[in-house]
Amino acid sequence: MPARLEEIENAEEEGIRFRFLTVPVRFLGDERGWVKGMECIKMRLGEPDESGRRRPVPIEGSEFLMDVDTVVIAIGQTPNPIIQRTTKGLKTTRWGTIIVNDGTGKTSKKGVYAGGDVVSGAATVISAMGAGKKAARSIHRYVMRKKKSKDKQRSVTRVSC
């Protein structure tokens, strides 16, 4: 589990119960569409794969139901793939993070800047804030350059009339 030991301890102190090697299979709703249950299956650690990691394998017949009234799905820390899939010309790494010019946050797409976890991968609030500031400065320069060239164009047009 990608969390610090103290975070796990704090969560347990606050009443969170972890269920390791357990995976949700489906959610059950009532007649009004409200969630009322969750079917889970127990897992066991299988043989190590080529990376040496023992992958979880479902234990057949171990499905069980849990009564729930709220479900928060929070799995993984990788970027949402929708951005790359829907934004033509945006270069990304094989992990789905956006490639930028480090100093400016400029992406491969004109006028598009990025920063934070979607660029660095899972990191910290402070580094996301830093990247946001850098990108904001670069965006300001980009917009001002555009404005200047538009103003220049306008004055040339006026002179030539």
Ligand X SMILES: Cc1cc2nc3c(=O)[nH]c(=O)nc-3n(C[C@H](O)[C@H](O)[C@H](O)COP(=O)(O)OP(=O)(O)OC[C@H]3O[C@@H](n4cnc5c(N)ncnc54)[C@H](O)[C@@H]3O)c2cc1C
Which residues make up the interface to ligand X (CB under 6 A)?
77, 80, 82-83, 116-118, 123-126, 128
* Of 80 and 157, CB closest to ligand X: 80
Residue 35 Cβ, how far from ligand X at the closest point, in Å? 21
* Of 72 and 159, CB closest to ligand X: 72
* Of 124 and 149, CB closest to ligand X: 124
Q: CA–CA separation, 120 vs 135, rounded Å?
A: 14
**Structure-derived torsion over alpha carbons of residues 13, 56, 63, 11, reported in degrees to the nearest 10:** 10
Residue 75 Cβ, how far from ligand X at the closest point, in Å? 11
Residue 1 Cβ, how far from ligand X at the closest point, in Å? 10
Positions of E strands within the chain: 22-29, 35-48, 54-58, 64-67
Q: Which runs of consecutive H residues, i.e. helices, occur in 27-124?
A: 82-86, 117-120
